[in-house]
């Protein structure tokens, strides 16, 4: 699992920095450009709302419910659920202090959040629905994947999620998928840059392994892959990052700009060549 110090490498650099190139609400995950309430769009803002709406529906969320978002980032989904969809009780957990500070800064009504490792989390009440948007990738380390221990780690995550919910709950899950393996040196090095420099302690998952791991606790009702949507999302982020290049270099240094530019450009290639993809799952509690 990514430790708290490793999570700080990925997310605690500066909220101001991420605000420069993410969408307004600071979703740091795949947007959806061809489906959802805004339909086909080129706007990152609208496409992120499409994504949140699709996952809201995957989790069968109603306004009277209590909902947990595991790995809630800077609170984009918490804000969407409470402010746009009028959900009664929304809670998020993140391992990042900077993200938590941003959520508090937003003063969102009916939203609470805590800096908690999911393995230590013990909610006082059971939730009606769950969401987790690109957090599973942080649960098993590359070493655990190599040792074949990762499916057990995912299974433990799904067991906990099951424990935290009431009978009848639904779970909207989104994960990055590890598909093909790069064969040329540049792509191998760029993938290593993403994995070991940008997201230390984490590793993308395989679809078959998620299915196997959740099987005892959650029934997979729908799965949709969105490789090209993530490619487009990364193109938006890269373009926004570059448009703020001089400011980012001046404020955070050339090294930071170079690392993020290399990582986002490598993501565009990785989605293009199917080294990675994106999956959204609608899961029903067993």
Ligand X SMILES: C[S@@+](CC[C@H](N)C(=O)[O-])C[C@H]1O[C@@H](n2cnc3c(N)ncnc32)[C@H](O)[C@@H]1O
Interacting residues with ligand X (CB under 6 A): 1-2, 7, 11, 27-29, 71-73, 76, 93-96, 99, 117-118, 133-135, 138
E strand segments, 45-142: 66-70, 89-94, 111-115, 127-133
What's the closest the beta carbon of residue 159 comes to ligand X, in angstroms?
Answer: 15
The dihedral built from the CA positions of residue 12, 17, 18 and 24, taken in this order, carries a sign that is: positive
Residue whose pair of structure tokens reads 């170079």 in the numeric block: 258
Nearer to ligand X, 135 or 210 (CB): 135
What's the closest the beta carbon of residue 75 comes to ligand X, in angstroms?
Answer: 8
What's the closest the beta carbon of residue 71 comes to ligand X, in angstroms?
Answer: 3
What is the three-state SS of 216-265? CCEEEEEEEECHHHHHHHHHHHHHHHHHCHHHHHHHHCHHHHHHHHHHHH
Rounded-to-integer distance, Cα 283 and Cα 169, Å: 9
Nearer to ligand X, 1 or 130 (CB): 1
What's the closest the beta carbon of residue 24 comes to ligand X, in angstroms?
Answer: 12
What's the closest the beta carbon of residue 180 comes to ligand X, in angstroms?
Answer: 22
Nearer to ligand X, 66 or 94 (CB): 94
Q: Residues 228-242, buried b or exposed e (16+ Cβ, 10 A)?
A: ebbbbbbbbbbeebe
145 Rama sector, left if φ>0, alpha if ψ -120 to 50, beta otherwise: alpha
Nearer to ligand X, 153 or 207 (CB): 153
Query: What are 69's strand-pairing partners?
Result: 92, 131
What's the closest the beta carbon of residue 250 comes to ligand X, in angstroms?
Answer: 26
Nearer to ligand X, 66 or 175 (CB): 175
Nearer to ligand X, 7 or 169 (CB): 7
């Amino acid at each position: 699992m990514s430790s708290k110090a490793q999570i700080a490498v990925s997310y605690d650099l500066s909220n101001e920095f991420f605000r420069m190139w993410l969408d307004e609400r600071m979703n740091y995950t795949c947007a959806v450009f061809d489906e959802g309430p805004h339909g086909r769009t080129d706007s990152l803002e609208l496409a992120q709302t499409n994504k949140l709406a699709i996952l809201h529906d995957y989790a069968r969320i109603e306004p009277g419910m209590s909902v947990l978002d595991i790995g809630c980032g800077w609170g984009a989904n918490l804000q969407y659920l409470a402010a746009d969809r009028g959900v009664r009780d929304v809670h998020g957990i993140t391992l990042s202090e900077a993200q938590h500070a941003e959520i508090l800064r937003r003063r969102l009504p009916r939203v609470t959040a805590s800096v908690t490792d999911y393995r230590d989390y013990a909610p006082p009440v059971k939730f009606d629905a769950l969401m987790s948007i690109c957090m599973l990738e942080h649960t098993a380390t590359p070493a655990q994947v190599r040792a074949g221990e990762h499916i057990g780690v995912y299974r433990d995550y799904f067991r906990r999620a099951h424990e935290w919910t009431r009978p009848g709950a639904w779970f909207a899950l989104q994960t990055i998928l590890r598909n093909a393996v790069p064969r040329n040196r540049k792509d191998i090095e760029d993938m290593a840059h993403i994995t070991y420099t940008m997201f230390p302690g984490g590793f993308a998952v395989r679809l078959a392994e998620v299915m196997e791991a959740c099987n005892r606790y959650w029934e997979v009702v729908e799965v949709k892959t969105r490789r090209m949507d993530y490619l487009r999302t990364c193109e938006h982020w890269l373009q926004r990052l570059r448009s703020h290049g001089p400011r980012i270099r001046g404020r955070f240094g050339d090294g930071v700009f170079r690392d993020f530019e290399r990582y986002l450009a490598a993501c565009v290639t990785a989605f293009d060549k199917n080294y990675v993809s994106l999956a959204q799952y609608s899961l029903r509690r067993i």
